């Protein structure tokens, strides 16, 4: 490895910059950038991600020349900081910090105060003039180091609550109890001095190793441990959830320590340049006086607000940073403006004040929920910070999901019993059954239960359970705690800092304001207000139309996008919901359910049981007015917009009961013998119904079914047209594989439609087209297009038949295919562009070679998937069609596709 492995930063200079995230990780790249911007950061250096990859590949070896480069950079830092690592009189301490390309909050390790030992402790005491501070720093080093380097990095997996860190915390608690005090700060220098001796003994006893006294050993131990933490259990779990590649590796930042725990003139905090929960343009943050960085995130003490607007119920009685240290607050506010202007996005920053001097320790693009993302994007565009295109790209289509998320029904909420209040860390409403551990959350969610994870605080070890839960509730922590950060990133309902909770996780009970609740009890959360309620509260769908920022962003998106957005809707209600979400038509109206209603199924069964055409026609006649009514309802809602209706698709046996009890019941109802019914069920039985007598094949053997459906459609159309409704029916024939099949069905349709219109004395414009869902139809699309007036790619069946995977049976092997990386993504969710996509692309080209202006859309599950929508845009479709709730997501995804 001949390339540079170590990049220095500090003193207004840096060898790296913000663009070098792949090599330096996000943290390292941004520390370099801040240093270049003239923002004060403690000097340090970054060891590249390439070293990490090398370290992983070689099972823990370092590339040649690394030690030398580290040595050189370290000398530079010593010069700037005017102190020396390991020096007896003027010691310099380091933090060793992880930092991957993409932020993985708290997933990997950081060790602070490296370099404290028997030699440097006396020196630092003299230098700082504060013995308590030094022993506090030392006990922190021991706690972090033994946990990260001596336990986790070696692969020890202690039982819950038995980790070395927990055991040391227990020792500390014992000391506080013995002394009769509550807070860490109440332990004095001598207590802490005694405590470190206890710690060391405990470490020797549990881990069978001495805590290292050599600063060099400490430094390299920490560096290796950080590299190893890339493959730690929770980092791996997080990467899987967030789709971060395993081979990226992390960088390591070695940085001079600054101390927020030097006394009342020192502090440490975390802030966001805008409110990450609402997106509002206000500086938002928390800090602790006389503390080290990790205290804020860990939620050990209730943090104070940096300014008036950041105050919460929990912090309103405490003075803000602005009140306590007005000069420093002003400096911080200036840095806020500078960073936002420079990065042109909301930043999440860490700072530390050492004895009246402000240092920045981190900046990164802040995580935000969907609501906040939308507001920030729109406001930043209006402020001239970003363009409209950028604003659109700032919001991930999936994030809109949160705006469409349910909230507690206010009527029920008003009557519900309030248990407690906390901080509103993740908006929206949720209800679920209490669980106390992440593993329980995951296990019970797998059984289909709705659970709410209730913890004192969450740690990165809990992410799998947090993901599985409906919502997260913690007793401790502030708006920048781990739980809040993670929930916000996922747009999950979350309440933190709910101090009234008294949790006994081991016994799986909690008490809150005099009430006892146990695992499995129902609670409901209002994450927008931060209120916890007893029992279930109904959820209401969201109403994004009331959000002015959302509305504005969507008008920008709609202008930009080239794809039309339709919806898959079978009922007037769904159609109405979709129209409210911005749907521009119906791309797929399935007619199956129209045969299932209690008033219809008997007629349908009579039709199936009939021995001849006359019998079938008689039964179909009963269904006709019912279907016509359905279509009238849908046409009225979709006034002015196209409605694609698919004729009957599933095999007939699906309409008949399979068990004997229902067969008897049916026989009685219909006045026929059970045997007759059983015989029919038998005769309709198919070895492989998916590839059997269904789709247009039904309409070809029983043309009267297609005729009845077309009659209902066109009669409904004529009926509403007379009332002034603008109606555009599109009749879609499913499962066509040859031009002749479509021709056959088209003839039935046209003949029927003509008759209906003549009789009604009105003409409506209608189209007859087909679904392209059988590979042969895609291959012969040029011929099919001679008959079809439009194509709609039914990519569910097309995927099924191209892969040869039955969708109903694929659950048995698809999970393995995904985990073994045989497939990159679930092909029924994200269109397989490489394979199935070829058929789609070819189908469009061949179809349009015959019919230049052939209208083409997609109506599979994929029509609501952003990646697939991007593909649909590229192959030149006219529209995508998806379920009503995905319509906004599809609109934005289509705009993204057009912007790229």
Catalytic residues, by residue number, are 482, 859
Residues within window 8-67 making contact with ligand ADP, judged by CB under 6 A: 42
Asked if 155 contacts 233 with a C-beta cutoff of 8 angstroms, the reply is: no
Considering CB distances under 5 to 8 angstroms, the limit depending on partner class, which of Mg ion, ligand ADP, none binds residue 352?
A: ligand ADP
Considering CB distances under 5 to 8 angstroms, the limit depending on partner class, which of ligand ADP, Mg ion, none binds residue 831?
A: none
Our CB check for ligand ADP shows the closer of 254 and 656 to be: 254
Cβ neighbours of residue 661 closer than 8 Å, sequence gap 6 or more = none
Size of interface with ligand ADP, in residues (CB under 6 A): 17
Cβ neighbours of residue 385 closer than 8 Å, sequence gap 6 or more = 340, 341, 344
Considering CB distances under 5 to 8 angstroms, the limit depending on partner class, which of ligand ADP, Mg ion, none binds residue 257?
A: ligand ADP
Burial class of 434 by CB neighbour count within 10 A (0 to 12, 13 to 18, 19+):
buried
Asked if 716 contacts 626 with a C-beta cutoff of 8 angstroms, the reply is: no
Residues within window 473-532 making contact with ligand ADP, judged by CB under 6 A: none
Residues within window 328-367 making contact with ligand ADP, judged by CB under 6 A: 350, 352, 361-362
H helix runs in 309-437, sequence order? 321-324, 326-343, 370-382, 388-394, 400-403, 410-415
Asked if 105 contacts 67 with a C-beta cutoff of 8 angstroms, the reply is: no
Our CB check for Mg ion shows the closer of 340 and 797 to be: 797
DSSP helix/strand/coil, 294: helix
DSSP helix/strand/coil, 152: helix
Considering CB distances under 5 to 8 angstroms, the limit depending on partner class, which of Mg ion, ligand ADP, none binds residue 607?
A: none
Output the residue with the shortest Cβ distance to ligand ADP: 293
Measure the CA angle with vertex 351, ends 77 and 257; round to 5°.
30
Give CA–CA dist 742/753, Å, rounded.
16
Q: Does 232 bind ligand ADP (CB under 6 A)?
A: no
Q: How far is the CB of 289 from ligand ADP (least distance, A)?
A: 15
Considering CB distances under 5 to 8 angstroms, the limit depending on partner class, which of ligand ADP, Mg ion, none binds residue 42?
A: ligand ADP
Q: Which residue do the tokens 């003239």 mark?
A: 38
Q: Which stretch binds ligand ADP (CB under 6 A): 249-257, 607-615, 668-676, 815-823?
A: 249-257
Asked if 242 contacts 490 with a C-beta cutoff of 8 angstroms, the reply is: no
Considering CB distances under 5 to 8 angstroms, the limit depending on partner class, which of ligand ADP, Mg ion, none binds residue 95?
A: ligand ADP
Q: How far is the CB of 350 from Mg ion (least distance, A)?
A: 5
H helix runs in 652-695, sequence order? 660-670, 674-684
Asked if 359 contacts 42 with a C-beta cutoff of 8 angstroms, the reply is: yes
- Round the CA-based radius of gyration of the chain to a whole number and report it: 33
Our CB check for ligand ADP shows the closer of 52 and 720 to be: 52
Q: Which stretch binds ligand ADP (CB under 6 A): 182-190, 254-262, 403-411, 663-671?
A: 254-262
Q: How far is the CB of 351 from ligand ADP (least distance, A)?
A: 8
Binding site for Mg ion (CB under 5 A): 362, 773, 794, 797
Other residues' Cβ atoms within 10 Å of the Cβ of residue 233: 14
Considering CB distances under 5 to 8 angstroms, the limit depending on partner class, which of Mg ion, ligand ADP, none binds residue 184?
A: none
Considering CB distances under 5 to 8 angstroms, the limit depending on partner class, which of ligand ADP, Mg ion, none binds residue 799?
A: none
Q: Which residue do the tokens 């970003």 mark?
A: 386
E-strand spans in 274-375?
A: 284-289, 304-305, 347-354, 357-365
Q: Which stretch binds ligand ADP (CB under 6 A): 73-81, 124-132, 256-264, 535-543?
A: 256-264
Q: How far is the CB of 257 from ligand ADP (least distance, A)?
A: 4
Our CB check for Mg ion shows the closer of 297 and 445 to be: 297
Give CA–CA dist 467/487, Å, rounded.
9
Give CA–CA dist 799/545, Å, rounded.
35
272 forms beta bridges with 284, 348
Our CB check for ligand ADP shows the closer of 360 and 778 to be: 360
| Crossing angle between the packed helical segments 703-722 and 739-760, to the nearest 10 degrees | 40
Residues within window 77-136 making contact with ligand ADP, judged by CB under 6 A: 95, 97, 106, 110, 112
Other residues' Cβ atoms within 10 Å of the Cβ of residue 526: 25
Q: How far is the CB of 105 from ligand ADP (least distance, A)?
A: 6
Our CB check for ligand ADP shows the closer of 35 and 255 to be: 255
Considering CB distances under 5 to 8 angstroms, the limit depending on partner class, which of Mg ion, ligand ADP, none binds residue 255?
A: ligand ADP
DSSP helix/strand/coil, 297: helix
Q: How far is the CB of 494 from ligand ADP (least distance, A)?
A: 19
Q: How far is the CB of 777 from ligand ADP (least distance, A)?
A: 53
Our CB check for ligand ADP shows the closer of 26 and 585 to be: 26
E-strand spans in 493-530?
A: 493-496, 501-504, 509-512, 515-518, 522-526
Give CA–CA dist 53/590, Å, rounded.
52
Q: Which stretch binds ligand ADP (CB under 6 A): 253-261, 330-338, 483-491, 616-624?
A: 253-261
Our CB check for ligand ADP shows the closer of 256 and 371 to be: 256
Our CB check for ligand ADP shows the closer of 81 and 425 to be: 81
Q: How far is the CB of 31 from ligand ADP (least distance, A)?
A: 10
Q: How far is the CB of 796 from Mg ion (least distance, A)?
A: 6
Residue from the set 255, 315, 470, 780 that interacts with ligand ADP by CB under 6 A: 255
Q: From residue 25, how far is each of 99, 190, 313, 482, 496 by CA, in Å?
A: 5, 40, 37, 20, 29
Considering CB distances under 5 to 8 angstroms, the limit depending on partner class, which of Mg ion, ligand ADP, none binds residue 794?
A: Mg ion
Our CB check for Mg ion shows the closer of 638 and 859 to be: 859
> Given its phi and psi angles, is residue 160 left (phi above 0), alpha (psi -120 to 50 degrees) or beta?
beta
Our CB check for ligand ADP shows the closer of 361 and 696 to be: 361
Please name which of 93, 236, 254, 50 lies closest in space to residue 152, comparing C-alpha atoms. 236
Considering CB distances under 5 to 8 angstroms, the limit depending on partner class, which of Mg ion, ligand ADP, none binds residue 797?
A: Mg ion
DSSP 8-state symbol, 153: G
643 forms beta bridges with 586, 729
Q: How far is the CB of 590 from Mg ion (least distance, A)?
A: 9
Our CB check for ligand ADP shows the closer of 425 and 772 to be: 425
Residues within window 286-305 making contact with ligand ADP, judged by CB under 6 A: 293-294, 297
First to last CA, the chain: 36
Q: Which residue do the tokens 């009527």 mark?
A: 411
Our CB check for ligand ADP shows the closer of 353 and 392 to be: 353
Considering CB distances under 5 to 8 angstroms, the limit depending on partner class, which of ligand ADP, Mg ion, none binds residue 66?
A: none
H helix runs in 581-727, sequence order? 601-609, 613-637, 660-670, 674-684, 696-701, 703-722
Give CA–CA dist 344/94, Å, rounded.
31
542-566 burial, b for 16+ CB within 10 Å, e for fewer? bebeebebbebbbebbeebbebbbb
Please name which of 160, 162, 299, 147 lies closest in space to residue 232, comparing C-alpha atoms. 147
Considering CB distances under 5 to 8 angstroms, the limit depending on partner class, which of ligand ADP, Mg ion, none binds residue 112?
A: ligand ADP
Q: How far is the CB of 294 from ligand ADP (least distance, A)?
A: 5
Q: What does the binding site for ligand ADP look like in residue numbers (CB under 6 A)? A: 42, 95, 97, 106, 110, 112, 255-258, 293-294, 297, 350, 352, 361-362
């Amino acid at each position: 490895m001949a390339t540079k492995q170590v990049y220095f930063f500090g003193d207004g200079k840096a060898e790296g910059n913000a663009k070098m995230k792949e090599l330096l990780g996000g943290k390292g790249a941004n520390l370099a950038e801040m240093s270049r911007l003239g923002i004060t950061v403690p000097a340090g250096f970054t060891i590249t991600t390439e070293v990490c990859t090398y370290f992983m590949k070689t099972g823990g070896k370092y590339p040649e020349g690394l030690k030398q480069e580290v040595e050189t950079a370290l000398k530079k830092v010593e010069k700037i900081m005017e102190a020396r690592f390991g020096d007896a009189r003027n010691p310099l301490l380091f933090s060793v910090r992880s930092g991957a390309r993409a932020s993985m909050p708290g997933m990997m390790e950081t060790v602070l105060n490296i370099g404290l030992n028997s030699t440097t402790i006396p020196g630092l005491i003299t230098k700082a003039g504060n013995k308590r501070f030094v022993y506090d720093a030392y006990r922190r080093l021991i706690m972090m180091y033994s946990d990260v380097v001596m336990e986790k990095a070696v692969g020890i997996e202690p039982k819950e609550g038995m980790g070395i860190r927990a055991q040391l915390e227990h020792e500390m608690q014992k000391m506080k109890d013995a002394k009769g005090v509550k807070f860490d700060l109440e332990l004095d220098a001598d207590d802490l001095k005694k405590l470190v001796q206890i710690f060391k003994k405990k470490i020797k006893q549990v881990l069978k190793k001495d805590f290292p006294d050599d600063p060099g050993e400490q430094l390299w131990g920490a560096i290796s441990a950080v590299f190893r933490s890339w493959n730690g259990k929770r980092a791996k779990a997080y990467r899987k959830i967030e789709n971060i590649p395993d081979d990226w590796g992390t960088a390591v930042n070695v940085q001079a320590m600054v101390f927020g725990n030097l006394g009342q003139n020192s502090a440490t905090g975390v802030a966001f340049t805008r409110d990450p929960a609402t997106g509002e343009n206000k500086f938002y943050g928390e800090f602790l006086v006389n503390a080290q960085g990790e205290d804020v995130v860990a939620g050990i003490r209730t943090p104070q607000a940096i300014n008036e607007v950041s105050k919460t119920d929990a912090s309103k009685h405490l003075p803000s940073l602005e009140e306590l240290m007005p000069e420093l607050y002003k400096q911080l506010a200036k840095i806020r403006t500078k960073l936002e202007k420079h990065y042109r996005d909301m930043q999440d920053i860490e700072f530390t004040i050492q004895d009246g001097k402000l240092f920045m320790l981190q900046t990164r693009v802040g995580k935000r929920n969907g609501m906040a993302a939308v507001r920030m994007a729109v406001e930043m565009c209006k402020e001239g910070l970003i363009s409209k295109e950028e604003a659109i790209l700032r919001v991930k289509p999936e994030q809109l999901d949160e705006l469409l998320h349910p909230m507690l029904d206010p009527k029920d909420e008003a009557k519900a019993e309030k248990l407690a209040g906390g901080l509103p860390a993740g908006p929206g409403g949720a209800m679920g059954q209490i669980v106390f551990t992440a593993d329980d959350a995951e296990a019970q969610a797998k059984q289909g239960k709705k659970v709410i994870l209730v913890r004192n605080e969450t740690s990165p070890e809990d992410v799998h359970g947090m993901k599985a839960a409906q919502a997260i509730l913690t007793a401790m922590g502030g708006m920048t705690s781990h739980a809040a950060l993670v929930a916000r990133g996922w747009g999950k309902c979350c309440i933190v800092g709910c101090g009234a909770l008294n949790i006994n996780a081991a016994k799986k009970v909690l008490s809150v304001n005099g009430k006892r609740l146990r695992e499995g009890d129902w609670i409901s959360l209002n994450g927008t207000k931060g209120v916890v309620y007893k029992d279930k509260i109904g959820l209401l769908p969201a109403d994004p139309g009331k959000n002015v920022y959302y509305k504005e962003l969507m008008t920008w998106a709609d202008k930009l996008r080239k794809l039309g957005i339709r919806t898959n809707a079978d009922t007037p209600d769904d159609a109405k919901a979709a129209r409210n979400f911005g749907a521009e038509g119906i791309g797929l109206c399935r007619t199956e359910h129209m045969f299932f209603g209690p008033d219809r199924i008997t007629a349908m069964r009579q039709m199936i049981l009939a021995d001849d055409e006359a019998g079938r026609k008689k039964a179909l006649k009963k269904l006709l007015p019912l279907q016509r009514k359905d279509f009238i309802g849908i046409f009225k809602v979709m006034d002015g917009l196209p409605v694609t209706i698919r004729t009957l698709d599933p095999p007939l046996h699906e309409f008949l009961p399979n068990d004997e009890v229902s067969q008897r019941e049916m026989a009685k109802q219909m006045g026929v013998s059970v045997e007759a019914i059983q015989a029919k069920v038998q005769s309709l039985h198919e070895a492989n119904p998916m590839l059997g007598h269904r789709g247009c094949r039904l309409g070809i053997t029983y043309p009267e079914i297609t005729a009845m459906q077309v009659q209902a459609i066109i009669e409904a159309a004529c009926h509403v047209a007379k009332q002034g409704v603008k109606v555009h029916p599109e009749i879609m024939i499913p499962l066509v594989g040859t031009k002749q099949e479509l021709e056959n069905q088209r003839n039935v349709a046209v003949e029927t439609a003509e008759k209906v219109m003549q009789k009604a004395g009105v003409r409506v414009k209608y189209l007859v087209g087909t679904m392209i869902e059988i590979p042969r139809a895609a291959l012969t699309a040029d011929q099919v297009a001679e008959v079809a007036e439009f194509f709609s790619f039914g990519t569910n069946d097309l995927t099924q038949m191209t892969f040869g995977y039955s969708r109903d049976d694929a659950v048995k092997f698809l999970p393995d295919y995904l985990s073994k990386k045989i497939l990159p993504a679930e092909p029924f969710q994200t269109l397989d562009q490489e394979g199935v996509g070829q058929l789609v692309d070819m189908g469009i080209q061949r179809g349009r070679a015959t019919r230049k202006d052939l209208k083409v859309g997609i109506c599979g599950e994929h029509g609501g998937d952003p990646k697939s929508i991007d593909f649909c845009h590229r192959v030149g479709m006219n529209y995508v069609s998806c379920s009503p709730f995905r319509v906004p997501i599809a609109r934005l995804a289509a705009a993204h596709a057009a912007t790229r």
